[in-house]
Amino acid sequence: MATRSLDVVILGGGNAGMGVTVATREARLKVTMIEPDLLGGTCPNRGCMPKKVLVAAAHALDEIERAKAHHTSQSANRASTGRR
């Protein structure tokens, strides 16, 4: 098995791991990162960001449904403003 000489081994490719990688590479250190799952960690892959997309979609659908109670409707066709 081949061996490598490294200065830093980073465990995990989440926010902290990515930040450390930048700093160590700028210091011209030999770095490797070990990430058994998706880079970026929980937030962009399964946590914060996907949740925000789903919440925004649910909010939009709720607003459309509630518009009926105000005797208005929402559609993809919008009235012309007269501007071109």
% of the chain beyond a pLDDT of 90:
13
Task: Please indicate, yes or no, whether the overall pTM of this predicted structure exceeds 0.85.
Answer: no
* Segment 30-46, tens digit of pLDDT: 988 898 888 888 777 87
Q: What is the DSSP string of 13-71?
A: -SHHHHHHHHHHHHTT--EEEE-SS-TT-HHHHTSHHHHHHHHHHHHHHHHHHHHGGGT
* Segment 18-32, tens digit of pLDDT: 888 888 989 999 988
